Amino acid sequence: MDENRRNFLKKAGSAALGLGCGFPLLMAGCSTNGHSSEENSSSPNQWAMVIDVQKCKEPAIRAACIEACRKEHNLPTNPPPNQPAREVKWIWSDKFETAFPDQAHKYLAENPADLQVLLLCNHCTEPACVKVCPTAATWKRKSDGIVMMDMHRCIGCRYCVVACPYGSRSFNWRDPFPDRNDIDKQARKEYPTRSRGVVEKCTFCAERIRLWQERVDKDPKLLESEPAPIPACVEAANRVAGGEGALRFGNLGDSQSEVSRVLRDQNTICRQLALGTGPNVYYLV
């Protein structure tokens, strides 16, 4: 009798194992298909950026943007020597032909080798990084379309790093602040420091967006004078002479916003559109 029961348990157990294996896969298949409807329909809002490539030819403008972002988000300022590929960067500048491999044909008016463009996370509509993250440490925020990053949940598997087609994600190969004194000296107290072994990337200055949102929620009239939050890089570019409007930021869900207007009136391109990730950073060339 005892034997009988054990046998039954074994069979039941093995059947459960078999089912347990197939079911999650099925569910997962459905959930990957469903993500577009689930995450985008809830809100039409999507923050986006338009970058004027011609204006950004000026190295001072690009440098100002990159520096402002570094300061704002406590990026380690000391990239390891001889290891350029280990630098932590949110916004950076690279050759047109590496950023737009599908646009750089031989007869381009300008020698693409000389043309530098500003690059950052595209806050994709169908982000490749979000799909693969096994902990949801990176996710697409439903309310405004920002692809967020939780550096305190990330396990550092770097799946998102290999999945993002735009090179927007950096891993902390070493301690961002090896010297505790550095934290006191350089760190902006308002921005969290992170540990070694996690991934980070541009968040469109989500912290500024939150402050702006709080102000607007309190006093909706503010929307007229301050129609959109201003990310650190945009602010820095505007401050440089000739950099006014080199970077523009706004809500695509609002047809009156500055970015919507620019996109309507002028021709813009995106990085690697063919991949279907739906980037939300546009380039005026």
Partner 1 sequence: MSNIDPDKMVDQLTRPIRKTSAFYYVVVLALLMAVCWGLFAWTCQLTRGLQVTGLNNSVAWGVYITNFVFFIGISHAGTLISAILRVSGAEWRRPITRAAEAITVFALVLGASQILFDLGRPDRALNVILYGPLRSPLLWDVVCISVYLLSSIFYLLLPLIPDVAILRDQRLVLGWRKELYRILSFGWDGNPEQKRRLEKTIGIMAVLIIPIAVSVHTVVSWIFGMTIRPMWHSTILGPYFVVGAIFSGIAAIIIAMAVLRKVYHFEGYLKPIHFNYLGLLLLTMTALWFYFTLAEYLTIGYGALPEEWHVFEAKVAGEFALMFWIMVGSMTVAFFLLLFCRSKWPIGGTVAASLFIVVGMWIERYTIVVPTLVKLTGRGYPPGMYYPSWVEWSITGGSIAGFILLYVLFVKLFPIISIWEVEESEEAVVEKLANMKRYFPCVSSAPTES
Smallest gap from residue 241 Cβ to partner 1 (A): 27
Tokens, residue 200: 């980070």
- Look at residue 257 and give the partner it binds from partner 1, ligand SF4, none, a contact being a CB closer than 5 to 8 Å depending on partner kind: none
User: 200, 152 in Cβ contact below 8 A?
Assistant: no
- Give the position of tokens 């934290």: 183
The one of partner 1, ligand SF4, none whose footprint includes residue 201, by CB under 5 to 8 A per kind, is ligand SF4
Of 156-164, 184-192, 218-226, 258-266, which part binds partner 1 (CB under 8 A)? 156-164
The amino acid occupying position 95 is K
Closer residue to ligand SF4 in complex, CB, 122/251: 122
147/59 Cα distance (integer angstroms)? 28
Applying the rule CB under 6 A, the residues between 164 and 183 that interact with ligand SF4 are 164, 166, 168-169
**What is the closest distance, in whole angstroms, from the C-beta atom of residue 211 to partner 1 in the complex?**
27
Question: Across the strands, what pairs with 52?
Answer: 284
- Taking residue 272's Cβ as centre, other Cβ atoms within 10 Å add up to 16
Binding residue for ligand SF4, selected from 74, 116, 138, 251, defined by CB under 6 A:
138
User: Which residues in 190-249 contact partner 1 (CB under 8 A)?
Assistant: 195-199
**Please, is 2 exposed, middle or buried when counting C-beta atoms within 10 Å of its C-beta (0-12, 13-18, 19+)?**
exposed
- Give CA–CA dist 258/264, Å, rounded: 10
- Helix or strand holding residue 250 (H, E): strand 247-251
Please, are residues 67 and 61 in contact by the beta-carbon 8 Å criterion? no
Site string for partner 1, 74-113 (x = CB under 8 A): ------x--xxxxx----x-xx--xxxxx-----------
Residue 154 or 259: which CB sits closer to ligand SF4? Answer: 154
Nearer to ligand SF4, 104 or 132 (CB): 132
Position 158 contacts ligand SF4 (CB under 6 A): yes
Residue 8 Cβ vs ligand SF4, minimum distance, rounded to whole Å: 41
Q: Can residue 143 be called a binding residue for partner 1 (CB under 8 A)?
A: no
Question: Which of the 8 DSSP states describes residue 142?
Answer: T
Tell which positions 13-52 bind partner 1, by CB under 8 A. 13-15, 17-18, 20-22, 24-25, 27-28, 31-32, 35
The whole-angstrom separation of Cα 150 and Cα 138 is 6
Report the alpha-carbon distance of residue 269 to residue 228 in Å, rounded.
23
CB-nearer residue toward partner 1: 138 or 251: 138
List phi, psi (to 5°) of 233: -70, -40
Enumerate binding residues for ligand SF4 (CB under 6 A). Answer: 121-124, 127-129, 132-135, 137-138, 147, 154-160, 164, 166, 168-169, 199, 201, 277
